[in-house]
């Protein structure tokens, strides 16, 4: 939920709708941009009840303002998706559903999960992938620590380093060796450093998959 990935979502959703409809069309978006420091404080404290309450309050504001669906523009905070869904009467466009649909469409039966520590180690993401027919492959603890450090110490602050890219590509190779058909970039900042051009294995960009699902909803 950093401003960097927020801007990426906004640009991509509008671009997808403009490309589909042409002319001066763009997406009707109500954007509630949170202070990421507040969100990250809940994460560091492990206060997921408080985090869920925060996101639920923002989701209610969007629904009250007329939103016909809500999207949480991040992977990790889908850990509190049930609290958000309970707070609103409109659909939540869930990122994991979009990722699983994208993987199956590309013939990928298993995905190595990369992202924040919680996304890589806990079941809120992996179990939903499994339920939608995609087998999750989890990284070893050292690779979890490496990925989490690069995400929060660098990428969410706009820092892109070649050395960090090399470390992340090592994580990718070990996930593939463990049985992954491809790799999920399960953090909305990871596509800033890993792309199909520099990664030798199939990548599912969670932002791309989620944006496509949001655009389909708008266009419907």
Residue of 119, 146, 156, 187 marked catalytic: 187
Low-confidence residues of the chain: pLDDT under 70: none
Is 187 catalytic? The answer is yes
Give pLDDT, residue 189: 85
* Domain at 3-94+209-219, CATH class: alpha beta
- Strand-pairing partners, residue 137, are 112
pTM of this structure: 0.89
The secondary structure of the chain as a DSSP string is --HHHHHHHHHHHHHHHHHHH-TT-----------HHHHHHHHHHT-HHHHHHHHHHHHHHHHHTT-SSB---SSGGGGGHHHHHHH-SS-B--HHHHHHHHHHHTT--EEEEESSHHHHHSHHHHHHHHHTT-EEEPPPHHHHHHHHHHHHHTGGGT---HHHHHHHHHHHHHHHHTT-SEEEE-STTGGGT--TTT-SS-EEEHHHHHHHHHHHHHH-
Give pLDDT, residue 45: 95
183-198 burial, b if ≥16 CB within 10 A, otherwise e?
bbbbbbbbbbbbeeee
Is 74 catalytic? The answer is yes
Please, where in the chain does CATH 3.40.50.1860 lie?
3-94+209-219, 95-205
Which residues, 6+ apart, have CB-to-CB distance to 216 below 8 Å? none
Tell me the per-residue pLDDT of 51-85, one tens digit each, with 9 for 90 and over. 999 999 999 999 999 999 999 998 889 999 999 99
Residue of 74, 119, 147, 188 marked catalytic: 74
Give pLDDT, residue 72: 96
Q: Measure the CA–CA gap between 60 and 44, rounded to whole angstroms.
A: 25
Nearest to 64 by CA among 88, 92, 35: 88
CATH 3.40.50.1370, domain 95-205, yes or no: no
Q: Measure the CA–CA gap between 37 and 48, rounded to whole angstroms.
A: 15
């Amino acid at each position: 939920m950093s401003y960097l990935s927020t801007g990426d979502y906004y640009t991509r959703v509008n671009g997808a709708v403009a490309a589909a409809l042409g002319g001066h069309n763009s997406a009707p978006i109500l954007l509630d941009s949170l202070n990421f420091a507040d969100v990250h404080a809940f994460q560091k404290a492990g206060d997921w009840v408080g985090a869920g309450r925060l996101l639920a309050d923002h989701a209610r504001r969007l629904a009250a303002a007329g939103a016909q669906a809500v999207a949480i523009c991040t992977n990790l905070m889908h850990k509190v998706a049930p609290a958000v869904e309970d707070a609103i009467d409109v659909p939540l466009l869930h990122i994991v559903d979009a990722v699983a649909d994208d993987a199956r469409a590309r013939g990928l039966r298993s995905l190595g999960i990369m992202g924040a520590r919680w996304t890589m180690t806990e079941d809120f993401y992996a179990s939903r992938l499994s339920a939608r027919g995609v087998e999750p492959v989890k990284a070893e603890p050292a690779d979890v620590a490496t990925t989490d450090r690069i995400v929060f110490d660098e990428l969410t602050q706009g820092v892109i380093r070649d050395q960090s890219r090399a470390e992340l590509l090592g994580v990718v190779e070990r996930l593939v060796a463990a049985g992954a058909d491809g790799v999920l970039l399960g953090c909305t900042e990871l596509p800033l450093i890993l792309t199909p051009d520099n990664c030798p294995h199939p990548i599912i960009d969670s932002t791309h998959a989620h944006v496509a699902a949001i655009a389909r909803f708008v266009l419907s």
